[in-house]
Every structure is written in structure tokens, then in C-alpha cells.
Structure 1
């Protein structure tokens, strides 16, 4: 797999600093997140991020748009910038990517009634068609409190939408064991595209999580990568979060990620 960074863990840094950090750590691929660095609709910023990456020889792999694929408009809290499908796609075009990440609604699968599932499927299908007209693939976030919070719900949604340019990211689910996470990887199969890498532990309250160094999760991630390698398609392993958002922790975690990956990938060699 190719090594990349998702910029959410660097959200306190400017575009220029993010690109500098990537270069310093010999990372040649980046997924720009829309929550801070490249907000949906800010085409000038997207073009600036693209230009900076081109100058540094860094590939923009995808755009983390946080579009939520329902009809409820702008969300609250971290999703208040959700401006809809066209704005998200226009920003991805300005960024120069051919892949865009979205969320499968804003409700946990257990809390979503059939009407809401149909709404998300309808919006997602329309989004996929619009993205396809731009030569773009669509990638669902495999995330709690959405309709992709379990592999069963994710597959059901993808089966309903039935679009050839629709894929799912993968990341570990909190509170379940290694074998269950491996089973999720195997169930997603060829629909699984890229991977968000981090090591979080669920606290005793069963709700909150604690970020930990990736080296503490090396054994489990080696199991995950072994399962992922059974599917030969090209994909990115994207470092998403590090403990304390600290740059020295990012450097350490990237070193561990490269060891887990089995060898230093051409995308991240010196």
C-alpha cells in the first residue's frame, strides 16, 4: 500500500506548513480534509493546496468533503460547513482529485428508520452520478453514527445504491476485537478502497476513546494489513490521527506504519 496522510491531525497548521510537514516526513500523498484546510466552496484555497502539492511533488489523492448525503442541509457542530453535493464536487475538481470522501448520513444505523435510509440512498446515488460525470469515484467513510457504522449496514446501502464508482474506506471499529475487524475487511472485499490508520482505545465508559501511539497497536495493524493484502488493488494507507496531534508522534507513527507495511513504499522513500 502507498502511505499518505489525512490532514485532520494537522488541522492547526496552515496549508504551507502541512505541505512542509509532508515533505519533511517524506510523505508523497495527502488527503485534504474539508473541516479545516479546504472548506467546501472555497475554490481558491483548493487551488492553492493543489499548487503547493504540485510544487512539492506531493500527490493529492482525495478530498475529504464531509458531505453527509441527506436532505437536511448544513449540520451542526463540525458539519456546519456542509453546503451540499455540487459545492463539494466543485471543490474536489479545484483540488485536482478524482476521488471524494463522503459520509453516509448523520444517524447511526440502529437509529435510522427506513425512510431515512431511503433518503440517504437516494442522495448518495445522485451524488455518485454527478461524480461519475466528472470522472470521479465516491468513497464512504466507515464511521460510527452513520449508515456505515457496521459492515452489514454499509453493504446494504451500497447494494441499494448500486453504482460502479462507489466504494468504502475502512478503519477499525472501536470496542470490537481484531478478528471482528478482520471479518469486516473480508466482507467489504473489493468494495474496500483506502484505509484510515490510527490507534485508539475505547475507555471504560464504553463511549469515549483515547489516542495512543501506533506502536502499541502494531500487532493488530499487521493483522489488518495481512487481510488487506489479500485484495491486490492499489490503495492508500492514510495516517489520520496521532496522539496529541504532536508532530514528533506523527513522525514516530509514520515510521511504525512503514514497518507494518512491510517495506518503505516508493511513495515515501527518501
Structure 2
């Protein structure tokens, strides 16, 4: 397995600083949050080429552009067309950065609230993204995410089957799946199979009240619940079964560290990197 930092953890830094910090941590690559002040669909090619030059000089590949494009199931056709054009621009950027995957959000609402038309609309536009991506040899990734159509393995497989494209797959995220209160262990990995194309790791914790740094509210099938963003091992998401299953299935792709706990960015990634290396070593 190859380990990357999520540049969104370093969003208060320039992309150049984020890349240097990632290299200092000893990670293998960096997944870029495709929004300002890092790299976005509006970034100039001059700037993108500068990022690529730094990537090469640091020997720090960029496996994924984590875009914030999407929400097709909730958008009108005009907005969806705009998202598709932004995605095409990211494909050009990915070509320069030698990035083979782009994250796109299909939209919401929560899977347990969604109607058939939400899935049909998302499948149509995600299929158009996949068609464009295939021309560039790029995969389209959907992140298993609370408060979305793809918040469980079941709902993810449903949408994947409707899209029907080999270059569309899932980002497994145990932290998000903990929030949703769905299985994120061995069975989730086995059921996704070849459609599991990338992994995010972060920890979360159910709590009783808001107010402390890192706390937030979300809607789940249980209603309104409260959570604390946590470092690995300090929250409620047990990543042990996940890493055992990744080892069992021979997963050799990227794992991105995405901790948003209320600690300095470098410190929280340093903590999570040590935890992930231990999980891999003992899997």
C-alpha cells in the first residue's frame, strides 16, 4: 500500500508548502484537494506545470485530484452542464500532473431518503463524466460519504451498476461510514471488490454535545447526531478490520490520510501516519 496526505489537511498552506510538509512526513504521495488555494479548475496551466515540476523534484506523485464537483442529483441541468465543463478542465490538469483519478460527488440526499430519480439523474451525469475520463485514461472516484447517495456499500453498488462504467469506482472511507453507522470492515471491502479503487482514513467519535473544537452535527438514519473529528485510535472507528481486509485482498493502491482533528495539521498527520504504519505492519 502507498500512503498519501490529503492536501485539504494543509489548506491553510500553499500547495507548495503542503507538498514539502508531506515529503517531510515521509509519505509516498499527495492527494490534492482540487480547490483554492491549491489546484482548482480555474488554475492556470502555468501554475499547474509548477506543481508538476515540484512533484517531480520531490518524487511525490499525485494519485488523485479530490474535486468538489458534483451534486448532480440535486442540481438542475444548467448547473450539471457547468459541473461537467469543470470536470473536463480537471481532466486537462490531471494530464499535466500525471494523475489517474478524479473524485466527483454524485449528490444527495442521504441514501435512506433518496428516490429513484435521484439515482437516475446522478447515474446519467456521472456516466458522462466517466465517458470523458475514459478518453484520458482516468478513473472517476465517488467517495462513500455520509449525507449522500453513496453512504453505504449497498447504495454505492446500486449507483455503480446504474452507471455501468469500468472506470468508475469507490473511495472507501471508514470515518464517513462510522458516521452513517454502516459496515466499514472486512465485508465492505469484499463486497466492493475491484470497485474499491482508493481508500481514505480518518477517525470520528459520537458525542453528547457540541461546542468543543472539531465538533459537528450530521443527519443519519438515527436522526441528528453529534460527532468529534478525531485522530486515529482516539475516535470510534476501528480501522483494524479494514486493514486486515485490505491485506487479505491484496490491495496495493493508495491510502490517503485525511485527519481533521483539532490539532495542528502536521501533528495530526504525523500521529495518523504512525497509526497506519502500525496497522499495516500487523495486518
Match runs of 1:155-234 below 5 Å: 155-172=157-174, 173-175=177-179, 180-182=183-185, 183-204=187-208, 206-216=224-234, 220-234=238-252
Any runs of at least 4 consecutive aligned residues in structure 1 with deviations exceeding 3 A, and if so which? 71-75, 80-84
Q: Deviations over 1:181-239 (max 9, x none)?
A: 21322221221111111111122365332122213359921221001222224211110
Contact persistence 1:174–1:202 (CA under 8 A): no
Equivalent pairs counted in the alignment come to: 258
1:91 aligns with 2:93: yes
How far apart, CA to CA, are the structure 2 residues paired with 1:167 and 1:63?
14
Structure-2 residue corresponding to 1:14: 14
Q: Deviations over 1:82-125 (max 9, x none)?
A: 96332232232233211111112242223332222111100111
RMSD after superposition: 2.5
The structure with the greater share of residues assigned to strand is 2
Q: TM-score, normalised by structure 1?
A: 0.86
> Any gaps of 5 or more consecutive residues in structure 2?
210-223
Structure-2 residue corresponding to 1:25: 25
Q: TM-score, normalised by structure 2?
A: 0.82
Q: Deviations over 1:128-152 (max 9, x none)?
A: 1110010111111111122111111
1:111 aligns with 2:113: yes
1:154 aligns with 2:173: no
Q: Which has the higher contact order (CA 8 A, sep 6+)?
A: 1
Structure-1 residue corresponding to 2:64: 62
